[in-house]
Amino acid sequence: DVPDWPEYVEQLEIYLWMLAEAGHATPIGRLVLVSLHDGSRHVLGVALDRVRVGDTVQQRLIELIEERERRIAWMERRRSREVPQPFEPWRPGQREICEAVQWGLGAGQAVLVQAPTGLGKTAAALTGALRHALASDKQLFWATARTTQQDGAVRALRRLSELGLPLRSVVIRAKHKACLNDVISCRPEACRFADDYYDKLRAAGLPARLLDGDVHLDFDALDTEATRHVICPFELALDATSGLDVVIGDYNHALDPSAQIKRCFAPDHAGGWVVVADEVHQLPDRARDWWSPRLEAQVARTASQQLWLAGPAFAPWVGLAQRIEALVTREVAESAGRQVGDVFLRRPPRAELEALAAEVDALALDYAWLKAERLMRQATEDDAWLEVARQVLRLAAAAATLPDDPEEPTDLVGLATMTPGREQLQLRCLDPSARVGPAIATLGGFVGLSATLSPPEFYRDLLGLDPDRLDVVRVPSPFPPENRAILVAPAISTAFKDREAHRAPTAKLLSRAVAATPGNAALYFPSFAMLEDVRPLLKLPDREVLVQEPGMDDALRAAALARLGEPGPSKVLLAVLGGVFAEGIDLPPGALSLVAVLSPALPPVSLERDLLREHFERRYGQGFLYASLVPGLTRVVQAAGRLHRRPEDRGVILLIDRRFRWRDVNVLLPEEWTPAYEYDPVPSIAAFFAQR
């Protein structure tokens, strides 16, 4: 009956009203319902109540006009206020960053800013970006690689608000972290927070009611409103973005084509946004991941098992999942030729993938109907079929872009992994520049921040930035050199082939270095494996030992960081280079007195690394530099940057590995570093701390 389909009836009534208002004879409405299951049709007659529908349309137009007027008034208010200086006086280097960002964006340039950790570049860059964005009626997206990197931007925004700047902002979480439902299943029949979402949103006056005046929508504010009105907090945050000045989120919300916020970053909207990528040294690898589709045999195997248990109605999908699994295992088994370990160079079978993708697409509506209406109506957190379908479609689409000649160079290479139980086919993106560059070019402005952007050509090349429309800003360290000792211990080798022989000497050196240090120490290892190898041999009496574990959740990470700032016995942090304790975190001032970095963190030997080196040599003439040295030394300098937060902080950076003597390694270390090479650096550590 007509009342059973209110949304569709309302849509049809508006069409009828528009025809009547245009002077046509009284139109007659027919709502045609088509079954996705068998194609049968049912027709319902819909009459036009011209006065009632006209009143509804008029009321909605009034709401839209009022919403637009509120937005214009807000933008006029913020345009009339100058973005204040967040701190008086500026710290050394902050004014330079602020002005470089503001004027660079104003001139239509992309801006890369390298400034040391602890200088306050977040507040300075945010101020400069806001001065440009607010004056040009744009919005600002602050993009990070990890949630731990977002706190500094939130603090800077709150500081500007305290100084009288009218601002509206939000932090967007990943969907799985924001979800309030028992299981993550974004279907109305499976999630009460998704059911009737837009009706409940409008009845609650959201998101407009949240945007009344200055506001920062943190997790608690969003969750409170979402719980009160039984609506999805993730969708609520997205719906609020159009009325906000600043949005803080992940890189992929802005630049990943499969996960970006389309209402903000679709091509016809992206020009209204300035994106600041914090810790931008992490963006090239993230971008390579976005454009590297894979097809996993285990996912297909799980899908066929789930579907078989769901009943005979799912037999077509069981068979298709089994054929997908068979394709992967066959291709892996037939791999031959170039390999490193369990990974082979193997071009995926384009024609077979296209055929499978066509079958997946043809069965999509039938699967949706069965899932929603029959055997799988219950909410399930993991739907392996949907995942394998996505993998097939993505890999087939990427394979279709490959050149016909397999010998023709391309930035996508096929890899087959034959690890038992983890067989997979993948197209690995070696160079994201041709994809991420055009995405950045559509934005209303782009700024990249990091303490490690050396050499800048690496980031310019891999992010696809136009050299003629790029400003590179380097801010020297303001910290007194006498407050820092940089020592290299070349007697130790952490190279994989030497690790067993040097395991005991490494542990002994670390134990002695910590004993000579009055205060907290952080020991950074190139991998969890080496950390666990050395850890049992460490002798750290009277020290509280904090250890990074794989997959630590946010609460455990925060607790460990908090311990470093607490009084009591000195602490020793054991962590890995490139991890959450080594990059993008703000430790309390003076939290560390010693940072020891084991190895230059060169990536391990792999087929992918070999292919990267060859591609970068062929395209940029910088194979080893771009593939290994820059990624490794970036991790080293990032970890060392945890030492200094204030000019008065004192401490030692200890670099352990004979490869730190290499000239190619040294040129990538900060210019202000003047390392001393000592086979036994412990006396120098003790002497440094004896000075006052």
Q: What is the pLDDT of residues 320-363, one digit of tens each?
A: 999 999 999 999 999 878 888 889 999 999 999 999 999 999 99
DSSP 244: -
| Euclidean distance between CA atoms 559 and 554, whole angstroms | 9
| Euclidean distance between CA atoms 555 and 553, whole angstroms | 6
Report whether pLDDT(375) > 60. Answer: no
- Tally of residues, the chain: 692
| Euclidean distance between CA atoms 431 and 612, whole angstroms | 8
Instruction: Tell me how far the alpha carbon of residue 478 is from its chain's centroid.
Output: 30
Q: How many CA atoms lie within 13 A of 176 on its CB side?
A: 2
**pTM of the entire structure?**
0.91
Residues 525-579: tens digit of each pLDDT: 999 999 999 999 999 998 999 999 998 887 888 888 888 888 888 999 999 999 9
pLDDT at 381: 56
Residues 412-471: tens digit of each pLDDT: 999 999 988 889 999 999 999 999 999 999 999 999 999 999 999 999 999 999 999 999
The answer to whether 447 touches 110, Cβ cutoff 8 Å, is yes
Give the pLDDT band of residue 218 (cuts 50, 70, 90).
confident
Report whether pLDDT(179) > 80. Answer: yes
The answer to whether 675 touches 486, Cβ cutoff 8 Å, is yes
Which two structure tokens, joined as six digits, stand for 136?
Answer: 């040009």
pLDDT at 5: 83
pLDDT at 127: 97
Interacting residues of 292 by C-beta distance below 8 A, sequence separation 6+: 426, 427, 428, 429
- Nearest CA-CA partner of 141 in 281, 265, 273, 279: 273
Give the mean model confidence (pLDDT) for residues 293-322: 94
The answer to whether 417 touches 342, Cβ cutoff 8 Å, is yes
Give the mean model confidence (pLDDT) for residues 208-233: 88
pLDDT at 504: 96
Give the mean model confidence (pLDDT) for residues 10-19: 94
Report whether pLDDT(41) > 80. Answer: yes
* Helix, strand, or coil (residue 274): strand
CA distances from 400 to 37, 328, 353, 494, 547 (A): 31, 18, 9, 43, 46
pLDDT at 219: 84
pLDDT at 519: 92
Give the mean model confidence (pLDDT) for residues 13-32: 91
Average pLDDT, the chain: 91
Give the mean model confidence (pLDDT) for residues 178-206: 86
Interacting residues of 111 by C-beta distance below 8 A, sequence separation 6+: 100, 101, 104, 105, 446, 447, 448, 470, 471, 472, 473
The answer to whether 385 touches 303, Cβ cutoff 8 Å, is yes
Give the pLDDT band of residue 70 (cuts 50, 70, 90).
confident
The answer to whether 287 touches 255, Cβ cutoff 8 Å, is yes
Residues 454-479: tens digit of each pLDDT: 999 999 999 999 999 999 999 998 88
**Beta partners for residue 142, in sequence order:** 248, 276
Give the pLDDT band of residue 374 (cuts 50, 70, 90).
low
Q: Which residue is it, tokens 């200055």?
A: 214
The answer to whether 111 touches 144, Cβ cutoff 8 Å, is no
Residues 595-624: tens digit of each pLDDT: 999 999 999 999 999 999 999 999 999 999
Say which residue, 309 or 337, is predicted with more confidence. 309
Report whether pLDDT(38) > 80. Answer: no
Q: Which of 371-375, 483-487, 499-503, 651-655 has the lowest mean pLDDT?
A: 371-375
| Euclidean distance between CA atoms 283 and 450, whole angstroms | 11
Report whether pLDDT(146) > 70. Answer: yes
Residues 221-251: tens digit of each pLDDT: 899 999 999 999 999 999 999 889 999 999 9
Give the mean model confidence (pLDDT) for residues 152-172: 91
Q: What 3 state SS string does 650-680 have?
A: CEEEEEECHHHHCHHHHCCCCCCCCCEECCC
Element (H, E) at 310: helix 297-310
Give the pLDDT band of residue 1 (cuts 50, 70, 90).
low
Give the mean model confidence (pLDDT) for residues 479-488: 93
Give the mean model confidence (pLDDT) for residues 44-60: 93
CA distances from 100 to 95, 107, 144 (A): 8, 10, 21
pLDDT at 7: 84
Q: Which domains does the chain have, with CATH numbers?
A: 2-70 (no CATH), 90-290+434-474 (3.40.50.300), 294-431 (1.10.275.40), 481-690 (3.40.50.300)
